[in-house]
């Protein structure tokens, strides 16, 4: 409906507010009109009194007296001069005076109340009005008159004011309607239409909006929308290219893995050769082929990642850490690497146990592999505790710290590897699994004294 639109509601509100302003003007203007009407009758009555006083013996013919009263629009005139109250002109009164009104020093609210009492009355009253004579021609002048002509004059004046108010309201509302539509509504409609068109085809760069609104706020909104659309379009294009590239890499890695597996078998046979030069080169060839095979397998594995929604269950953090420590110690072998764990109390963790195991074991495994490459080895410590809003799990090692370049892309696949020959996929998967729990994985400390990875998981996930 039209009134549900921005334009319709603005038009309606404009008419309402203009009419309200006109009403606020109408009320005092009606009171002012009544005062002017009565003041005019007082002045005419004073002139009639002066005409009478100018005659010999202050006497006029009855016909002239009636004409003077009719010209003044009153029934009688009383003038007080020198503290004497004198009936100057009069004609037979049809009825007694119903109400007295004194215009001398009357307040605004009193005048407004009296005006609306006259307007809303039936007009069948005789009223007496008192006022001060102009130019000091006496102390007080009083007149009696019918109220009906006064009421009719107020009604006529009110209708003219209301008609004028309606014309002004319609004209003002129309001008504001077209102005607002031109400068506000049309730019908003253009903004909405652009959003709808962009929603249907966000990859089309031609649909990115060009800011041109004349209103500052709308121009800023269009500028912000343009920035968002530009970034989103670029991101979608990049994701499409990455998806295509990922599919191609997966296919190449699959075929390359088969080729490298064959080459690895041949390299294994070369190790039993009696040729000293072959025996010297074979281990290096085997290591190179093994790294290439591992990289292909990691690439294929990451391309197939489609982690399920975490299955939340309650389990002991201490038992989880013990399982990780025992598993990693089996892989340590003869290297001088120690792995320990400590949990503050019997903490029950609410999360996907399998995924949390993968997260923590990935971090511990990376630390172990780094320490195994050091002659002096090192120590790895798992620590955990419960907070009011969640759980904290950390892995601390005594390694050499993370290189600056590795820190910049630590949780991005194929970019954040620290070890030679590593793919960096483990930490990327771990970060993704932590985000799936609504938590956060970060490096809180790294340097010559070691590195600390920390996992925070929020509460409120129990089933």
208 part of a folded domain: no
Q: What token pair was written down for 75? A: 């029934």
- CB-based contacts of 368: which residues, under 8 Å, 6+ apart? 328, 331, 332, 337, 339, 380
Could you tell me the residue range of the domain that residue 246 belongs to? Answer: 216-303
329, 298: one domain? no
132, 11: one domain? yes
182 part of a folded domain: no
Q: What token pair was written down for 455? A: 């996992």
Question: What pLDDT, on a 0 to 100 scale, did the predictor assign at position 343?
Answer: 94
Conformational region of residue 373, where left means phi above 0, alpha means psi within -120 to 50, and beta covers everything else:
alpha
CATH code at position 342 = 3.30.565.10
Question: What pLDDT, on a 0 to 100 scale, did the predictor assign at position 314?
Answer: 94
205 part of a folded domain: no
The number of residues in the chain equals: 463
Q: What is the mean pLDDT of the chain?
A: 80
pLDDT in tens, 319-343: 999 999 998 888 887 789 999 999 9
355 part of a folded domain: yes
376 part of a folded domain: yes
DSSP string, 90-111: E---SS---EEEE-TT--HHHH
Q: State which H helix or E strand residue 76 sits in.
A: strand 76-81
- Among 277, 303, 329, identify where a domain stops: 303
DSSP class of 135: G
* Cβ atoms within 10 Å of 446's Cβ, excluding its own: 20
- Among 276, 303, 330, identify where a domain stops: 303
Q: What token pair was written down for 457? A: 């998981």
- Do 141 and 130 form a contact (C-beta atoms < 8 A)? yes
Q: Tokens 């397998």 sit at which residue? A: 297
- SS3 annotation, 225-287: HHHHHHHHHHHHHHHHHHHHHHHHHHHHHHHHHHHHHHHHHHHHHHCCCCCHHHHHHHHHHHH
279, 373: one domain? no
Distance of alpha carbon 272 from alpha carbon 299, whole angstroms = 31
7, 131: one domain? yes
Distance of alpha carbon 379 from alpha carbon 371, whole angstroms = 8
41, 124: one domain? yes
Residue 207 confidence (pLDDT) above 90: no
Question: What pLDDT, on a 0 to 100 scale, did the predictor assign at position 462?
Answer: 46
334 part of a folded domain: yes
- Among 243, 273, 303, identify where a domain stops: 303
250, 161: one domain? no
Distance of alpha carbon 451 from alpha carbon 185, whole angstroms = 57
258, 406: one domain? no
185 part of a folded domain: no
295, 317: one domain? no
Residue 427 confidence (pLDDT) above 90: no
- CB-based contacts of 279: which residues, under 8 Å, 6+ apart? 271, 273
pLDDT in tens, 235-284: 777 776 666 666 666 666 656 666 666 666 666 666 666 777 666 666 66
166, 290: one domain? no
6, 152: one domain? yes
- Do 211 and 223 form a contact (C-beta atoms < 8 A)? yes
265, 394: one domain? no
Q: What token pair was written down for 374? A: 């050091």
Distance of alpha carbon 366 from alpha carbon 450, whole angstroms = 13
Question: What pLDDT, on a 0 to 100 scale, did the predictor assign at position 136?
Answer: 65
162, 20: one domain? yes
- Do 142 and 78 form a contact (C-beta atoms < 8 A)? yes
pLDDT in tens, 279-300: 666 666 666 666 566 666 655 5
Structurally, how many domains does the chain consist of?
Answer: 3
pLDDT in tens, 217-226: 888 888 888 8
Question: What pLDDT, on a 0 to 100 scale, did the predictor assign at position 267?
Answer: 64
Question: What pLDDT, on a 0 to 100 scale, did the predictor assign at position 294?
Answer: 61
- Do 340 and 303 form a contact (C-beta atoms < 8 A)? no
- Which residues on adjacent β-strands are paired with residue 143? 77, 129
- Do 15 and 173 form a contact (C-beta atoms < 8 A)? yes
Residue 137 confidence (pLDDT) above 70: no
- Do 97 and 126 form a contact (C-beta atoms < 8 A)? yes
- CB-based contacts of 18: which residues, under 8 Å, 6+ apart? 165, 168, 169, 172, 173
């Amino acid at each position: 409906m039209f009134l549900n639109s921005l334009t319709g509601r603005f038009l309606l509100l404009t008419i309402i507010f203009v009419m309200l302003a006109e009403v606020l003007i109408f009320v005092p203007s009606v009171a002012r009109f009544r005062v002017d009407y009565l003041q005019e009758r007082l002045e005419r009555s004073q002139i009639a009194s002066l005409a009478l006083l100018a005659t010999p013996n202050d006497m006029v013919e009855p016909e002239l007296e009636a004409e003077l009263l009719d010209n003044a629009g009153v029934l009688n005139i009383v003038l007080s001069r020198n503290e004497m109250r004198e009936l100057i002109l009069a004609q037979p009164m049809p009825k007694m005076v119903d109400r007295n009104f004194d215009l001398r020093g009357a307040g605004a609210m009193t005048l407004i109340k009296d005006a609306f009492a006259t307007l809303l009355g039936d007009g069948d009253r005789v009223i007496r009005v008192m006022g001060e004579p102009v130019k000091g021609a006496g102390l007080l002048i009083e007149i009696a008159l019918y109220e009906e002509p006064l009421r009719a004059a107020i009604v006529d004046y009110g209708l003219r004011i209301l008609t004028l108010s309606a014309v002004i309201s319609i004209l003002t509302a129309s001008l504001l309607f077209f102005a607002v539509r031109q400068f506000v509504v049309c730019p908003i409609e253009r903004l909405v239409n652009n959003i709808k068109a962009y929603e249907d085809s966000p990859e089309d760069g031609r649909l990115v909006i060009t800011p041109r609104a004349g209103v500052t706020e709308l121009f800023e909104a269009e500028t912000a929308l343009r920035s968002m659309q530009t970034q989103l379009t670029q991101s979608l294009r990049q994701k499409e290219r990455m998806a295509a590239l990922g599919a191609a890499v997966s296919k190449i890695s699959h075929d390359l893995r088969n080729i490298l597996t064959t080459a690895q078998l041949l390299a294994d046979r070369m190790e039993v050769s009696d040729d000293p030069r072959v025996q010297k080169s074979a281990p290096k060839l085997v290591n190179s082929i093994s790294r290439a095979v591992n990289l292909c397998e990691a690439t294929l594995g990451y391309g197939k990642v489609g982690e399920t929604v975490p299955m939340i269950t309650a389990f002991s953090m201490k038992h989880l850490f013990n399982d990780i420590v025992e598993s990693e110690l089996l892989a340590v072998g003869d290297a001088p690497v120690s792995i320990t764990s400590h949990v503050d109390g019997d903490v029950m963790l609410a999360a996907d146990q399998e995924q949390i195991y993968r997260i923590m074991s990935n971090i511990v495994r990376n630390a172990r592999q780094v320490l195994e490459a050091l002659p002096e080895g090192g120590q790895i410590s798992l620590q955990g505790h419960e907070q009011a809003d969640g759980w904290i799990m950390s892995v601390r090692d005594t390694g050499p710290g993370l290189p600056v370049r590795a820190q910049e892309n630590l949780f991005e696949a194929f970019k954040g590897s620290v070890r030679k020959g590593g793919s960096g996929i483990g930490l990327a998967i771990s970060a993704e699994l932590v985000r799936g729990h609504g938590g956060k994985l970060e490096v809180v400390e790294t340097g010559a004294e070691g590195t600390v990875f920390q996992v925070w998981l929020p509460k409120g996930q129990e089933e």
